[in-house]
Amino acid sequence: MARIAVLIEEDFEDSEYRLPRERLEAAGHDVVVAGPTAGSIYTGKRGDEKVAAEVATDSLAADEFDAVVVPGGYAPDKLRLDEDAVAFVREMNAEDKVVAAVCHAGSLLIDADAVDGRTVTSWPSIRVDLLNAGATWVDEEVVEDGNVITSRKPDDLEAFAASIAARLAGSS
């Protein structure tokens, strides 16, 4: 099965971390939580989830993973300042591996040069940022454009997780 990195930072959106992880693990995939500091505990913005980073973003290598999932919340805005997280997403995209982002996570994809020329969706507040980065923005539950999978909000998580799982099942 696939090995998936989930990138977190403080104030990630709790459900956008939890539900995809649960669904992907239930499908038999190996999910690895990565944050700026291995062993650090990161708390979701709603306080429902407290998650330890298993590995640091500076130790991530695209050749060790099949996909990366980026939950939304305030965390993506912090992760886009983490050069290692940005480099990892950029490398995953360059290697045509699954890059999945929900809600505000599209902001990290902008810094990783993963949206130019692609059709994506997101939380509406980053729509203009995505457009300015060269993306075509649409208001849809889930959008797949090549290896990039995007979704809008917590209400879309079942479809988002199913899309990631289906893509990984097709590439396994």
CA–CA separation, 47 and 134 (whole Å): 34
6 forms beta bridges with 33, 69
Chain centroid to CA 29: 16
**Do residues 105 and 84 lie in contact, with contact meaning Cβ atoms separated by under 8 Å?**
no
> Catalytic annotation on 103?
yes
Burial of 124 (0-12, 13-18, 19+ CB in 10 A): exposed
Burial of 144 (0-12, 13-18, 19+ CB in 10 A): middle
Determine which one of 62, 89, 103, 161 is catalytic.
103
Determine which one of 104, 118, 152, 153 is catalytic.
104
Structure-block tokens of residue 151: 């979704």
| Element containing residue 23 per DSSP (H, E) | helix 14-26
> Which residues participate in catalysis according to the annotation?
103-104
